[in-house]
Amino acid sequence: MIDKLEANGLTLAYEEMGDPAGRPLLMVNGLGSQMNGWHDEFCRLLAGRGFRLVRFDNRDVGESTHFSAYGVPDFAAVSRGTPPPPPPYLLEDMADDAAGLLDALAMAPAHVVGMSMGGMIVQALAIRHPSKVRSLTSIMSTPSRSVGQATPEASAALMVPRPTTREAAIEQAVRTFRIIGSPGFEFDEQWRRSVAAAAFDRDPDPFGRARQLFAIMCSPDRTPGLASVKAPALVIHGAADPLVQPAGGRATAGAIPGAELMMIDGMGHDLPRAVWPSIVDRVTALADRADGLGSDSAP
Judge contact between 288 and 242, C-beta under 8 A: no
Q: Which of 75-84, 161-170, 177-186 comes out lowest in average pLDDT? A: 75-84
Structural contact between residues 94 and 101, judged by C-beta atoms closer than 8 angstroms: no
pLDDT on residue 77: 75
Q: Which amino acid is at 17?
A: M
**What pLDDT does 121 receive?**
98
Q: CATH 3.40.50.720: does it fit domain 2-290?
A: no
Q: Is 41 exposed, middle or buried (0-12, 13-18, 19+ CB in 10 A)?
A: exposed
What does pLDDT average to over the chain? 94
Over range 90-95, report the average pLDDT: 98
Strands (E), 31-168: 51-56, 110-115, 133-139
pLDDT for the residue numbered 158: 86
Angle between helices 166-180 and 189-202 (to 10 degrees): 130
pLDDT at 64: 98
Residue 127's pLDDT band (cuts 50, 70, 90): very high
For 30-40, what is the mean pLDDT?
Answer: 96
Confidence band of 191 (pLDDT split at 50, 70, 90): very high
Quick check: helix, strand or coil at residue 55?
strand
Give the pLDDT of residue 86. Answer: 85
Mean pLDDT to the nearest integer, 151-168 = 91
